């Protein structure tokens, strides 16, 4: 995997501007902060939902033979910009605990709502296992 950093651009914090990779590609559907055994959202707390969504994402990666360091792209869909910004430090800590210090290309999109009414965040991913 190669991080793409255009000359003269400031280094982004917590994500990459772009990533190039070659190998087996895994696409992970949007993961929300639900307990996969009960199907219930774990909490109404934004940060707690983020942590569970990251744990769920990591579980799908491992099922496909990948690890968090194989991530090349994440897209976050959030319902509350203020909650996201207010929990950034906590989210960053959780991210590093669950996914490590790999920072793929990433987008965060504020949406009006998600299919699961209690969900406040949904994270989808692409990972590439090198040849």
- Rounded to whole angstroms, how far apart are CA atoms 11 and 44? 33
Work out the pLDDT band at 33, boundaries 50, 70, 90.
very high
pLDDT at 1 over 90: no
CB neighbours of 7 closer than 8 A, spacing ≥ 6? Answer: none
Helix axis angle, 88-99 relative to 46-63, nearest 10°? 20
- Rounded to whole angstroms, how far apart are CA atoms 121 and 44? 11
- Rounded to whole angstroms, how far apart are CA atoms 105 and 4? 9
Average pLDDT over residues 22-47: 96
Q: What is the CATH number of domain 29-104+112-130?
A: 3.30.1330.40
Per-domain boundaries in the chain? 29-104+112-130
pTM score of the predicted model: 0.93
The percent of residues in the chain predicted with pLDDT above 70, rounded, is 100
At 64, give phi and psi (nearest 5°): -90, 5
Q: How do residues 70-126 score in pLDDT, each as one tens digit? A: 999 999 999 999 999 999 999 999 999 999 999 999 999 999 999 999 999 999 999
Work out the pLDDT band at 58, boundaries 50, 70, 90.
very high
């Amino acid at each position: 995997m190669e991080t793409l950093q255009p000359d003269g651009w400031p280094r982004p914090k917590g994500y990459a501007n772009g990533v190039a990779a070659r190998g087996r590609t895994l696409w992970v559907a949007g993961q929300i902060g639900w307990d996969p055994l009960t199907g219930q959202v774990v909490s109404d707390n934004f940060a707690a939902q983020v942590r569970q969504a990251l744990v769920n994402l990591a579980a799908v990666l491992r099922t496909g033979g990948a690890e968090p360091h194989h991530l090349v792209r994440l897209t976050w869909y959030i319902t509350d910009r203020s909650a996201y910004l207010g929990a950034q430090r906590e989210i960053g800590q959780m991210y590093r605990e669950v996914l490590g210090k790999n920072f793929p290309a990433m987008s965060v999109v504020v949406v009006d709502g998600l299919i699961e009414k209690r969900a406040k965040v949904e994270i989808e991913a692409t990972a590439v296992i090198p040849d």
